[in-house]
């Protein structure tokens, strides 16, 4: 795995962990069906599935006050992962990086009772 990809994954995980605070209330009602338009897809199934599940979790379970930082994480992931997907040298390792990010995120989002 390239050092830059590993560094990016670590930085994104750090941003997510810092952005997640203890919830002040639980909003477990009706999950959102919002997904990114085709133009906003990364183009790697593992990445796109993770981002869609994460966005659903944030929209349906995270209190409104905590959503902005978490949505910023999604925007960062999508932008950076698109760049990596477009580069033939990093594209091959991106699916595994997205899967690792999903696993890290599942742990940090347990407080919101998200279903992954």
* Contact present, 61 and 85 (Cβ < 8 Å): no
What is the per-residue pLDDT across 2-50, written as a single tens digit (0 to 9) for each?
555 544 554 444 444 434 443 333 333 333 334 455 558 999 999 999 9
Q: Domain ranges in the chain?
A: 1-9+44-109
> What percent of the chain has a predicted confidence (pLDDT) above 70?
66
Question: What is the reported pTM?
Answer: 0.66
Question: Could you tell me the pLDDT band of residue 115, with boundaries at 50, 70 and 90?
Answer: confident
Read off the tokens for 93: 């390792």
Read off the tokens for 33: 């069906």
What is the per-residue pLDDT across 50-105, written as a single tens digit (0 to 9) for each?
999 999 999 999 999 989 999 999 999 999 999 999 999 999 999 999 999 999 99
Residue length, the chain? Answer: 116
pLDDT score of 2? 58
**Given phi > 0 = left and psi -120 to 50 = alpha, else beta, which region is 27?**
beta
């Amino acid at each position: 795995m390239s050092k830059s990809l590993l560094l990016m994954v670590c930085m994104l995980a750090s941003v997510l962990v810092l952005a997640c605070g203890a919830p002040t209330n639980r909003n477990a009602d009706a999950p959102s069906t919002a997904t990114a338009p085709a133009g906003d897809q990364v183009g790697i199934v593992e990445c796109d599935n993770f981002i869609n599940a994460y966005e659903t979790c944030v929209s349906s379970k995270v209190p409104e006050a905590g959503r902005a930082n978490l949505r910023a994480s999604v925007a960062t992931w999508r932008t950076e992962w698109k760049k990596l997907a477009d580069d033939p040298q990093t594209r091959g390792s991106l699916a595994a990086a997205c899967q690792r990010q999903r696993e890290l995120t599942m742990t940090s989002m347990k407080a919101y009772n998200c279903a992954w």
